[in-house]
């Protein structure tokens, strides 16, 4: 990075490595295909994802002694169909279905000042619901209604649609403004949108908005809102009146008892208001309003018309209320009472250990209509508990709700919504951490679950004697006294079937090769919050599941698969044989229930090596098997269960050197360069020699390519020769083996080659040639399917130190390429671009595709003297990891943590006398939580498995108590069945495990915290974990090497005791020192109490410890019993948030006032301010690029690179002592930092690090965000690259679609104009454009479309 920062103007390219995992909101419906359940998610970072719920039946075999049964196992997954980049801040989403339509469309509210109406469609309608199809999106309407940006009075924060036919939609701002759009269809069936109708209400704050199901009457929208008076005039007038009428002492006494804003009695009333759209008058009016509980925060509409009573459910603290216009008051349980209840309200069950003084807030409610007149709602609390809400209607009038029942369903991660599918599935987009798809096991649970009813709630209110319902329901103590309690456990009524990975939130990142035995560095990220916290190790590459490993008698020279044409299941062919070739023999393995070695009965020649083999025929007719050996070509056919072999022998003394075969074509190469081509006669089923050609040079490799679907032959063959040329030959009957095109490789020679038919985007297929070279690189070029011309801009990528072996495989139903070098790679096309990612596995020598009933899409490969069967993807599935989106492929290893991780650092620990070991130290802490020991003493179980375990023990003891006379064989069988049952129980429990938040403390300032030591060389296993004292929180850590300790690496931890967030305060702050003993244990040295504020940052500085304490920067030396203060710098603006050090400089990031350069004057032993930033940036992270340049991220999602002007630090230290004190303290005399680069990422950057992502590669600036995005700023190394990307970005700002109406340049310049950083996400949009637009842009860049795509691909390949 230093070579780049030396330039006057730094130029960077922002490359996204992993999309943000956080989901803002989601909706379920049928969007791209009618009758198929799909989920649309709005993600942080401005992306809209469309997922399809795919349910597949996988057959499994159960083998018993006397019978063989086949069972079907149901697998449910979410498949990414489409990702829409909006380059905007997404705010709200709703799905609507216009009358007469069979599919849903979505309405999106964003910061572009527009209302976006988007529709998804399948480019080629699939034959079945779960088949692959290209999904496109269309911007139907995008009308503008206001200013851009997220303003409190600009609509877009809330969005609601009419549930009946999508006749209208209301979009509202946080304050004041509401707009209603009327939707309809024209004569051509196209959706039309009318001009907006205003429904503004001044001085009104909106909390939620929902469309009321009013049948086919006028559309009604329900708004949860609070109206406040005009500014402070009314308040000041009231206080003046009180001062005149009452005595001053009484006034002070009343002020002491003022109610906190947001609580009952604060002087404001929260209302539920109905806004009606009169379709006849085309006018919106405020029809009806009623007061609700002060803590209400969310709404859900109840089905109306013929399907239900209509109305809304209002979720608040401790209660759920049903409200509707004209509803009759509920009947009192105590008929003799004079108090008449007016609310139909029900309290929610609470946890046993939850304090009575604290309420439980309902955060989201979702309603599912099961059938006519039958529905239920699910509500989730802030603790994650999910409740089922049912309404009981009057028998006489089904539109009248008589009472409500709330029962506990299960405990799930806290979500931003609950999406209930008609397939008995529940999708929970988690607030933080992985998202989950759950399958309902039971939903009618009212008889067995913990429940409470509205009748009991109203009866408690009547019996209390309280005259005001608002006052009674505002008290959490009242709710805690009447409701039943429960203890959260593992999932009882549902189980998880699919996990959608999310890193959010990421608090810190570290990049390096710490495992000790891998080629590429790993990303160590601190993720999650509370019980879902984890340390995740990300590796660039696809995850691999090893299914089987078998030893071979020698080192093989190749491996092949032979398809079984006789049996097809589910429309797919499975493999019949695995053929392994050795130097002087061939091993044939039969694939069935087990893999068995075959002999002469297979028809294969096992005494010679095999150069190629394949099943012949198109599946309708068995054409036999062809085996190519050095001595000839064998055609093996089975006639009347007898093996019939015919062989073509090589004439003379020549031998076959290379061969390739597909279903109907065989091409062989003899020594000297003679090519002989064979074809399968479809009438007789015999192989016939069709053509011979001599190319004049020895052949290194060749491939005849796959047969296109619907065709009988491949039209081309690729031949690589020792003269460093690759030729494309014709296999058309009229021009057999005639050369069509060629390319020269230069100094290297081809090692292997393969032709593939891939998806080229827009539903078209492309022919691609991949050549593995002897120098360890791979060359890929497109081939014209008509003329056979090789593209003039082939892409080339270095893969490893070994020659590259290329073969075709199938992953996720799409053709892919397997490339084997010193590391295995997978190449695949998707979304109009080619992706290549390594496999996280040991080096492989040879490989090919493999498929059977157990492994639908796998790979059979050899490594050394072993044969391995592998499956690519998470848990053996290769869904959406490569090619389905623009992310680079990463696989993660999770290490669970106890609390929210705050920071981490590396330590070099001594092992024995001379050994050293690298360990990783983490500090974790959670606010409003108890420590581990306190939770244990309270009887809290974070896993929720106590009851399950006790039940298992009881059942086992009962089984042991049964005394029966059985045979020993039966005993053995029973033991095996018990073991299998235990394994099944354990698997079932794993799908039912759920994170459970610990008990909430009743008071403020309670913390749970620990310091953890992990071993990165042993899968980050925990070496030691030190639990801190009560209410002490570890917030930061650093490795420090004191000169007085001989340079030993110590761990310094900054802690705060009894810290509160609102208002910000604490009791004590400390700096704690630990020593790592023998590389696996933390030893406490001493604790130093510090004043002036909390310790938020630490750094090693010239053999001492530099500490940021509130507004003070202090330098410490190590003492025997505590740290010794050496010097300090007071008066920093707000609070020291980040610290870096290099040489005699310290780089201080202030929480509100950006960056400060500090210099240490060793002669005077003082810290001197050198320079500061002229802009006020609330710093969240920083990274030192060189001595004068620092990259910073702020809480608004901006990244800036700041540089110290030349010579600015010369006058910072007054060596003469003649400068006036007033002159040196003037703020305007302090030099200001220069801003080199500015860029709005759109997500809060929480950590940055400078690292090289490949061994020996250039450094880049890697960053992570709070929403889970991983990206890198890559410096340009040539002026040509800068000009290319600057021009491409400029053209795409005009040509790229704007789904939400947001200008890309305005988005990247949200708070300051973007400067010297290219938007890589926008440049990637080039691949998604129509071909005509691509060609237009390419012509303006004086390049071809292929050259532009190659340039984009090469830039990413240089990074990873």
Percent of the chain surpassing pLDDT 70: 87
Quick one: how far is CA 126 from the chain centroid?
A: 28
Per-residue confidence (pLDDT) for residue 976, from 0 to 100? 58
Mean pLDDT of 1126-1148: 95
CA neighbor of 52 nearest in space, from 109, 117, 134: 134
Residue-wise pLDDT for 878-889, tens only, equals: 443 443 455 678
Query: Minimum mean pLDDT among 964-978, 1161-1175, 1287-1301: which range?
Result: 964-978
Residue-wise pLDDT for 1213-1236, tens only, equals: 555 455 544 454 556 678 999 999
Per-residue confidence (pLDDT) for residue 447, from 0 to 100? 85
Mean pLDDT of 84-99: 95
Rounded Cα distance between 289 and 1107, Å, is 56
Secondary structure (DSSP) of 1086-1123: EEEEE-SS-EEEEEEETTEEEEEETTEEEEEEE-SSSE
Peptide bond connecting 505 to the previous residue in cis, omega within 30 degrees of 0: yes
CA neighbor of 1323 nearest in space, from 1342, 1358, 1360, 1348: 1348
Say which residues have a Cβ less than 8 Å from residue 975's Cβ, sequence separation at least 6: none
Mean pLDDT of 1018-1040: 94
Query: Which segments within 394-459 are labelled E, that is strand?
Result: 401-411, 419-420, 425-428, 435-440, 451-453
Mean pLDDT of 832-852: 88
Mean pLDDT of 1255-1260: 83
CA neighbor of 480 nearest in space, from 317, 662, 270: 317
| Per-residue pLDDT at 212 exceeds 90 | yes
Per-residue confidence (pLDDT) for residue 764, from 0 to 100? 67
Instruction: Name the token pair of 659.
Output: 């061969």
Per-residue confidence (pLDDT) for residue 828, from 0 to 100? 85
DSSP 239: H
Dihedrals φ, ψ of 52, to 5°?
-110, 135
Mean pLDDT of 492-514: 94
Sheet holding 362-371, edge to edge: 362-371, 374-381, 385-393, 401-411, 451-453
Residue-wise pLDDT for 988-1027, tens only, equals: 788 898 989 999 998 888 999 999 999 999 999 999 999 9
The pairing of strands 1317-1319 and 12-18 is: parallel
Secondary structure (DSSP) of 1278-1343: SHHHHHHHHHHHHHHHHHS--TT---HHHHHTSSS--BSEEEHHHHHGGGGS-HHHHHHHHHHTTS
| Per-residue pLDDT at 948 exceeds 80 | no
Residue-wise pLDDT for 425-451, tens only, equals: 999 999 999 999 999 999 989 888 999
Mean pLDDT of 146-150: 92
CB 438 within 8 A of CB 496: yes
Rounded Cα distance between 1215 and 344, Å, is 79
Rounded Cα distance between 672 and 654, Å, is 9
Per-residue confidence (pLDDT) for residue 15, from 0 to 100? 95
Place 465 in a pLDDT band, splitting at 50, 70 and 90.
confident
Rounded Cα distance between 1042 and 1046, Å, is 7
Place 89 in a pLDDT band, splitting at 50, 70 and 90.
very high
Q: Which of the listed ranges 396-400, 632-636, 826-830, 832-836 does the model predict with the highest average pLDDT?
A: 632-636
Mean pLDDT of 440-468: 90
CA neighbor of 921 nearest in space, from 535, 1184, 517: 535
Say which residues have a Cβ less than 8 Å from residue 743's Cβ, sequence separation at least 6: 725, 726, 779, 781, 790, 794
SS3 state of residue 839: strand
Mean pLDDT of 1063-1086: 94
Residue-wise pLDDT for 625-682, tens only, equals: 999 999 999 999 887 778 888 999 998 888 999 999 999 999 999 998 999 999 998 8
Per-residue confidence (pLDDT) for residue 883, from 0 to 100? 38
Q: What is the mean pLDDT of the chain?
A: 87
Residue-wise pLDDT for 225-260, tens only, equals: 999 887 665 556 566 655 555 555 554 444 444 556
Mean pLDDT of 99-122: 94
| Per-residue pLDDT at 46 exceeds 90 | yes
| Per-residue pLDDT at 8 exceeds 60 | no
| Per-residue pLDDT at 69 exceeds 60 | no
CB 828 within 8 A of CB 881: no
Work out the burial of residue 1297: count CB atoms within 10 Å of its CB; fewer than 13 is exposed, 13-18 middle, 19 or more buried: middle
Say which residues have a Cβ less than 8 Å from residue 786's Cβ, sequence separation at least 6: none
Residue-wise pLDDT for 252-298, tens only, equals: 444 444 556 666 666 788 999 999 999 999 999 999 999 999 999 99
CA neighbor of 1180 nearest in space, from 1250, 1228, 1096, 1246: 1246
Say which residues have a Cβ less than 8 Å from residue 29's Cβ, sequence separation at least 6: 37, 38, 40, 95, 97, 104
Query: Minimum mean pLDDT among 207-221, 365-379, 589-603, 1079-1093: which range?
Result: 589-603
Residue-wise pLDDT for 547-561, tens only, equals: 999 999 999 999 999
Sheet holding 298-301, edge to edge: 298-301, 312-315, 319-323, 344-347
Residue-wise pLDDT for 743-785, tens only, equals: 999 889 999 999 998 876 655 678 999 999 999 999 999 899 8
Say which residues have a Cβ less than 8 Å from residue 265's Cβ, sequence separation at least 6: 259, 471, 474
Residue-wise pLDDT for 910-937, tens only, equals: 887 778 899 999 999 999 999 999 999 9
| Per-residue pLDDT at 691 exceeds 90 | yes
CB 822 within 8 A of CB 516: no
Residue 116 bridge partners (DSSP) = 108
Rounded Cα distance between 118 and 142, Å, is 9
Rounded Cα distance between 1346 and 1325, Å, is 15
CB 296 within 8 A of CB 314: yes
Say which residues have a Cβ less than 8 Å from residue 1280's Cβ, sequence separation at least 6: none
CB 938 within 8 A of CB 946: no
CA neighbor of 817 nearest in space, from 770, 748, 850, 854: 770
Residue 903 bridge partners (DSSP) = 923
Mind spelling out the 3-state secondary structure of 464-486? Answer: HCCCCHHHHHCCHHHHHHHCCEE
């Amino acid at each position: 990075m230093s070579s780049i920062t030396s330039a006057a103007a730094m130029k960077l390219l922002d490359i996204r490595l992993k999309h943000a995992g956080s989901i803002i909101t989601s909706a379920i419906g049928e969007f791209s295909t009618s009758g198929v359940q799909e989920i649309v998610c709005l993600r942080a970072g401005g992306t809209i994802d469309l997922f399809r719920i795919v349910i597949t039946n996988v057959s499994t075999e159960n083998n018993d002694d006397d019978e063989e049964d086949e069972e079907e196992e149901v697998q449910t997954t979410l498949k990414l169909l489409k990702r829409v980049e909006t380059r905007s801040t997404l705010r709200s989403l709703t799905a609507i279905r216009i009358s007469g339509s069979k599919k849903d469309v979505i309405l999106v509210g964003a910061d572009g000042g527009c209302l976006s109406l988007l529709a998804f469609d399948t480019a080629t309608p699939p034959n079945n619901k779960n088949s692959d199809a290209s999904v496109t999106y269309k911007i139907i309407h995008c009308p503008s209604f206001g200013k851009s940006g997220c303003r409190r009075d600009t609509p877009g924060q809330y969005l609601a649609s009419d549930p009946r036919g999508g006749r209208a939609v209301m979009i509202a701002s946080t304050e004041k403004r509401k707009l209603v759009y009327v939707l309809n269809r024209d004569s051509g069936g196209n959706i039309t949108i009318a001009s907006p109708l205003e429904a503004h209400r001044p001085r009104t704050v909106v909390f939620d908005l929902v469309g009321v199901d009013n049948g086919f009457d006028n559309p009604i929208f329900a708004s949860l809102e609070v109206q406040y008076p005009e500014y402070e005039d009314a308040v000041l007038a009231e206080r003046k009146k009180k001062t005149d009428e009452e005595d001053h002492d009484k006034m002070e006494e009343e002020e002491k008892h003022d109610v906190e804003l947001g609580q009952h009695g604060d002087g404001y009333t929260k209302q539920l208001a109905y806004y009606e759209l009169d379709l006849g008058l085309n006018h919106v009016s405020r029809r009806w309003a009623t007061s609700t509980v002060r803590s209400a925060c969310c709404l859900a509409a109840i089905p109306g018309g013929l399907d239900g009573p209509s109305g809304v459910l209002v979720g608040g603290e401790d209660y759920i209320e049903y409200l509707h216009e004209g509803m009759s008051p509920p009947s009192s349980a105590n008929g003799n009472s004079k108090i008449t209840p007016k609310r139909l309200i029900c309290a929610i069950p609470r946890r046993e250990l939850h304090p009575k003084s604290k309420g439980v807030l309902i955060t989201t409610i979702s309603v599912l209509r099961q059938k006519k007149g039958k529905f239920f709602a699910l509500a989730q609390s802030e603790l994650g508990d999910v409740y089922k809400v049912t309404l009981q209607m009057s028998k006489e009038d089904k539109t009248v709700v008589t009472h409500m029942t709330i029962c506990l369903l299960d405990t799930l991660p806290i979500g931003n919504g609950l999406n209930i599918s008609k397939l008995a599935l529940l999708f929970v987009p988690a607030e933080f951490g992985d998202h989950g798809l759950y399958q309902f096991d039971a939903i009618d649970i009212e008889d067995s679950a913990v429940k409470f009813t509205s009748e009991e709630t109203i009866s408690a209110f009547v019996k209390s004697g309280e005259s005001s319902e608002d006052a009674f329901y505002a008290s959490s103590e009242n709710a805690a006294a009447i409701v039943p309690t429960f203890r959260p456990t593992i999932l009882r009524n549902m189980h998880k079937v699919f996990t959608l990975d999310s890193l959010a939130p990421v608090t810190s990142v570290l990049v390096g090769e710490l495992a000790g035995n891998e080629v590429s560095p790993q990303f160590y990220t601190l993720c999650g919050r509370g019980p879902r916290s984890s340390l995740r190790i990300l590796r660039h590459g696809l995850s691999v599941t090893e299914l089987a490993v078998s030893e071979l008698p020698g080192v093989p020279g190749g491996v092949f698969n032979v398809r079984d044409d006789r049996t097809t299941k589910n429309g797919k062919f499975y493999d019949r044989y695995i053929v392994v070739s050795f130097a002087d023999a061939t091993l044939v393995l039969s694939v069935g229930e087990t893999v068995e070695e075959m002999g002469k009965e297979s028809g294969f020649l096992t005494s010679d090596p095999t150069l190629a083999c394949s099943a012949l025929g198109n599946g309708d007719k068995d054409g036999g098997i062809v085996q190519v050996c050095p001595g000839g070509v064998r055609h093996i056919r089975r006639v009347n269960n007898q093996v019939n072999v015919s062989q073509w022998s090589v004439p003379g003394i020549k031998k076959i050197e290379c061969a390739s075969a597909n279903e109907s074509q065989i091409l062989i190469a003899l020594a000297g360069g003679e090519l002989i081509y064979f074809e399968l006669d479809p009438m007789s089923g015999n192989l016939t020699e069709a053509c011979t050609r001599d190319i004049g040079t020895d052949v290194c490799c060749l491939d005849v390519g796959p047969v296109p679907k619907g065709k009988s032959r491949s039209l081309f063959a690729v031949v690589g020769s020792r003269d460093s040329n690759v030729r494309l030959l014709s296999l058309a009957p009229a021009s057999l083996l005639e050369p069509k095109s060629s390319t020269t490789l230069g100094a290297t020679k081809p090692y292997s080659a393969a032709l593939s038919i891939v998806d080229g985007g827009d539903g078209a297929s492309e022919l691609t040639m991949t050549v593995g070279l002897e120098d360890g690189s791979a060359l890929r070029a497109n081939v014209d399917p008509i003329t056979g011309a090789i593209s003039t801009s082939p892409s080339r990528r270095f893969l490893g130190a070994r020659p590259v072996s290329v073969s075709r495989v199938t992953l996720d139903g799409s053709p892919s390429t397997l490339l084997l070098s010193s590391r295995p790679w997978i190449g695949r096309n998707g979304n109009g671009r080619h992706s290549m990612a390594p496999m996280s596995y040991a080096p492989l020598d040879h490989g090919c595709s493999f498929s059977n009933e157990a492994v639908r899409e796998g790979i059979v490969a050899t490594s050394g003297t072993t044969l391995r069967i592998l499956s690519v993807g998470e848990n053996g599935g290769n869904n959406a990891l490569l090619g389905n989106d623009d992310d680079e492929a990463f696989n993660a290893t999770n290490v669970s943590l106890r609390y929210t991780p705050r920071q981490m650092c590396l330590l070099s620990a001594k092992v024995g006398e001379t050994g050293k070991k690298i360990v990783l130290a983490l500090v974790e802490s959670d606010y409003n939580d108890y420590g581990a020991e306190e939770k244990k003493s309270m009887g809290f179980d974070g896993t929720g498995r106590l009851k399950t375990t006790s039940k298992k023990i009881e059942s086992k003891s009962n089984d042991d108590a049964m005394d029966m006379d059985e045979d020993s064989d039966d005993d053995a069988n029973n033991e095996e069945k018990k073991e299998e049952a235990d394994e099944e129980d354990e698997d079932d429990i794993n799908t039912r495990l759920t994170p459970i938040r610990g008990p909430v403390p009743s008071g403020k300032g309670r913390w749970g915290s620990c310091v953890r030591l992990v071993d990165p060389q042993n899968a980050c296993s925990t070496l030691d974990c030190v639990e801190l004292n009560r209410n002490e929180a570890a917030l930061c850590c650093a490795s420090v090497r004191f000169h007085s300790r001989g340079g030993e690496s110590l761990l310094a931890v900054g802690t705060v005791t009894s810290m509160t967030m609102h208002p910000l305060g604490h009791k004590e702050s400390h700096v704690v020192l630990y020593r790592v003993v023998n590389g696996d244990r933390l030893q406490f040295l001493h604790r130093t109490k510090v004043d002036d504020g909390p310790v938020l940052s630490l750094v090693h500085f010239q053999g001492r410890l530099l500490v940021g304490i509130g507004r003070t920067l202090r330098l410490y030396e190590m003492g025997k019993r505590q740290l010794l203060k050496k010097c300090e710098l007071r008066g920093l603006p707000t609070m020291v948030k980040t610290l870096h050090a290099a040489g005699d400089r310290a780089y201080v990031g202030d929480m509100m006032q950006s960056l400060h350069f500090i210099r240490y004057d060793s002669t005077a032993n003082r810290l001197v301010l050198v320079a500061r930033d002229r802009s006020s940036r609330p710093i969240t992270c920083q990274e030192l690029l060189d001595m004068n340049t620092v990259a910073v991220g702020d809480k608004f999602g901006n990244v800036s690179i700041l540089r110290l002007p030349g010579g600015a630090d010369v006058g910072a230290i007054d060596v003469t002592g003649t400068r006036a004190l007033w002159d040196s303290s003037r703020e305007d005399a302090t030099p200001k930092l220069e801003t080199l680069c500015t860029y709005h990422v759109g997500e809060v950057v929480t950590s940055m690090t400078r690292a090289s992502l490949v061994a020996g590669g250039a450094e880049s600036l890697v960053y992570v965000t709070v929403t889970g995005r991983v990206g890198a700023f890559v410096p340009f190394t040539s002026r040509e690259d800068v000009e290319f990307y600057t021009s491409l970005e400029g053209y795409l700002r005009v040509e790229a679609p704007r789904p939400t109406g947001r200008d890309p340049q305005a988005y990247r310049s949200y708070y300051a104009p973007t400067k010297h950083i290219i938007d890589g996400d926008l440049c990637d949009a080039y691949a998604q454009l129509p071909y005509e637009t691509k060609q237009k842009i390419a012509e303006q860049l004086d390049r071809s479309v292929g050259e532009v795509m190659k340039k984009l691909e090469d830039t990413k390949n240089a990074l990873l």
